[in-house]
Copies of this chain bind each other. A is one copy, B any other.
C-alpha cells in the first residue's frame, strides 16, 4: 500500500501547478483507499508474487484510485457539496471549473497508467467500468426528486455509480495474477456485492450519521432530493400525511429548516434505516460467500473483515 501511495503521489504530478495542488487536497484528505486496496489484495489472493519486477498491481491500484478521485471531483460539482471527508470539498475551495478539469486530468492519467501496464484485458475492464459509472451517475440524476423511482432503479444506480468500480478493482487484481476465469469471476462477484453493501450503508449514514464521524454533512441527500433506499422505504411505509411531507420536501424541493429533523424521525420510525442496512447485510453476505472458492488465509480473512467493517460502520 505504501508503494501504491508513492505511485499515486508521483503520477498526480504535472507542470501545471494547480493540478497536484488540487489533487493533493483530495488525496491527502485521507480517503480510505479502499478501491486500490481491493486491487492489491485481490492480486495477492490470486497468488500474484510482488517483487521489483512485479509491480503491475501497484500501478493498476493507483489507476483505480485516480478513476475514483476523478468521479469524486465531478460528483461534488454535480451535487454542489461543500464538504468531503470532513474538509472543505475541492469545488468549494478551488471552484467548480478547477474540479471539472482536474477530474478530467486524473481520468486521462488513469488511462495513461493502463496503457503503461499494457494489458488490453485490464483496459477493457476499467474502460467498461468508467462508462458504467458515468451511466450510473446520469441515471441517478434522472431519478432525482422522483419518489416513484422503483427500488430496482435505485439498485441499478448504485450498481453503476459504486459497485462497478469495486468489481473492476477486484477483477483487475485477479487478471494481473493470471490465475484463471474462476477466480476472476469470484472476485468480480465479491467486489460487486461489497460495493452494493458499501453504497447502501453510505446512503443510510446520510440520515443517521454523526457528522463528525462521517466527515460529510448529514442531510445532503435530502437537500438534493436524492432518491435513496432510506427515502423510498420511508415513503412506501409512510401514512398519507408522511407521504405529503416527502412529496413536498423531495419532489417539490420545498424545504424548511426543520424538515431534516422530521425526515430523520420518519426514517427511524418506519424502520427505513433498518431496511436499508438489512439489504446491505444481504449483499455483504453474498460478498463473503464469493470468497469461498479461495483456500483459507490471513488475506481472505482480511477481505471478509473489510466487508463486515463496511456494514458495521453504521452501527
Contact = CB atoms under 8 A, between A and B. Distances in A.
Interface of A: 14-19, 70-71, 74, 77-78, 96-98, 100-102, 104-105, 107-109, 111-112, 114-115, 118, 120, 123-124, 127-128, 130-131, 133-135, 137-139, 141-142
23 contacts: A16-B139, A18-B138, A18-B141, A19-B138, A71-B104, A74-B101, A74-B104, A77-B96, A77-B100, A78-B100, A96-B96, A97-B141, A100-B100, A101-B137, A104-B130, A104-B134, A104-B137, A105-B135, A107-B130, A108-B127, A112-B127, A112-B128, A118-B120
A138 B98 contact: yes
B108 A131 contact: yes
When A and B form their complex, which 9 residue pairs have the shortest distance between CB atoms, in order from nearest?
A: A105-B134, A108-B130, A111-B127, A108-B131, A104-B134, A78-B97, A115-B123, A112-B127, A101-B137
Contact of A138 (B101, B109, B112, B123): B101
A22 to B, nearest CB: 9
A162 to B, nearest CB: 15
Contacts of A15: 135
Nearest to A17: B142
Nearest to A79: B97
